[in-house]
Structure 1
């Protein structure tokens, strides 16, 4: 089944070329079906790239999904046009009287800041509180995961001595959990972050389950025991070339950065990196939509 997106969203044409079933709003309104309503709070600087990455995954399930993109009203984005934001995004003030079956909160390049130093942290807290009663399940990614752990469970992040950057092996603690159904017991995933959270703090918390650790013993997939909040500390949604783009960007800035681990063939930055995590990414998103959103959300919100 398709994802329902605004008619002129630039990602739409690329998705159609990739043979992902996309339906515009006019056709969707004629469908006699209860679609899932998914809210995406996109905090990434290159918003159009993130839109495409997430829509590609949400469009690969048998469920019809309506998408709403959310921006922060208290922050001015510098890497996307006002036209794009005005036409395809809304603000929390507009949606806070609505209820959503699922929500995705992306990462953001602000790890160096304490949460209270982020200029939109107050608005972020309001949104996180609102999700408790108005969203069936929330998928938090990277900084979004750290923000959720801090706000909901009091678990703070800490700085790493060196950026965790590359493709890392991960293991599962409970392969029977529905979120990771179909996963290999060892799998690969991208990371790109300067901070981490404590595995011990998560294991000790009575409301949290740690489903996956990286080879560096860093938490990767964390879930609340009520299955409402899912925190992914890495970037399964990344394209094959995203880490290369980040590496080249930082090199041009003159930043001191290592080549991403286990990424470029023979550690050659001129070589094309393979996508070695795609199948598990699709599994996670389809499992989330099926088991934690579709099978849990009420047919009619009251």
Structure 2
């Protein structure tokens, strides 16, 4: 089954050109099934690129999924026109009464700020608590993962001496987790972050799923709060790290090239995507677990009645 997104969303053309199955509203209405309801809280500046990356992965499932694009209410975007946001996005205030089977909270480029200094932090607190009553399972990404770990568990983060930047080979820690089903022993994962989390502050009821000795924990599972925390970026396309590097280079920041990304270290060559299959596999596993456990009656999501 394909994913259903707004008919005029620019990401639609990109996905269709890649052969991703996308369904229009008319066709979806004729199918006598309950589509899974997914939301994407997009905190990234480049909304279009980020929504395309996550829609691509969510669409890899054989299930029909309705994707709602969400933005925080208390934030004026500097990089995305307001008419684009009004056309394709709902504010959290507009969806707070809705229920979702799955929900993704992206990263945000505010790693240098304490959580409490972020302008929309009070709304983020409400959203994170809201996932416990209105969402069956949540995937928190990068800054979103650090924020949720801080809020739900008091996990501490710290500034690393140097930015973790590149594609690193990781190891699977808890192979029994259904989220890792079918993954190879040492997946390559894109990493781009200045902060890491303090292992000594992680409570015992959190399971580390994917780890790396050099750049830190990659992914944790939280059964109590029905959440997964992905600290890195399997959703990235092959140019994401390269474009970030060239952007910082043009800004005179003198960055180191991303590790293990460019063939033979040649930054003029387009990098290969060596993590795509694991990204699709992770999201297929996640969606399958949601499908197996979410209540048929969407109103029962978050009530504990299933």
In which range does the TM-score fall when normalised by the shorter chain?
over 0.9
**Cα displacement (A) at 1:246:** 0.3
**Cα displacement (A) at 1:207:** 2.6
User: CA–CA distance in 2 between the matches of 1:78 and 1:156?
Assistant: 30
1:240 aligns with 2:238: yes
User: CA–CA distance in 1 between the matches of 2:265 and 2:125?
Assistant: 41
Q: Which runs of 4+ in 1 moved over 3 A?
A: none
1:252 aligns with 2:250: yes
For residue 294 of structure 1, what is the aligned residue in structure 2? 291
User: Which string of whole-angstrom CA distances, capped at 9 and with x for unpartnered residues, describes residues 88-143 of structure 1?
Assistant: 00111111111110000000000000000100000000000000111000001100
- Counterpart contact for 1:198–1:219, Cα < 8 Å: no
Q: What secondary structure does 1:234 align onto?
A: coil
- Counterpart contact for 2:156–2:201, Cα < 8 Å: no
- Residues 123-162 of structure 1: matches in 2 within 5 Å? 123-162=123-162
- Residues 87-98 of structure 1: matches in 2 within 5 Å? 87-98=87-98
For residue 303 of structure 2, what is the aligned residue in structure 1? none
- Which of 266, 269, 289 matches 2:267? 269
- Which of 213, 216, 225 matches 2:214? 216
Q: Which has the larger displacement, 72-81 or 235-244? A: 72-81
- Counterpart contact for 2:16–2:22, Cα < 8 Å: yes
- Counterpart contact for 2:166–2:190, Cα < 8 Å: yes
The number of equivalent residue pairs is 299
Q: So what's the TM-score if we normalise by structure 2?
A: 0.95
For residue 190 of structure 1, what is the aligned residue in structure 2? 190
Q: CA RMSD, aligned part only?
A: 1.1
**Cα displacement (A) at 1:227:** 6.6
Structure 1 stretches lacking a partner, 5+ long = none
- Residues 161-200 of structure 1: matches in 2 within 5 Å? 161-200=161-200
Structure 2 stretches lacking a partner, 5+ long = 301-306
User: CA–CA distance in 2 between the matches of 1:161 and 1:34?
Assistant: 49
For residue 75 of structure 1, what is the aligned residue in structure 2? 75
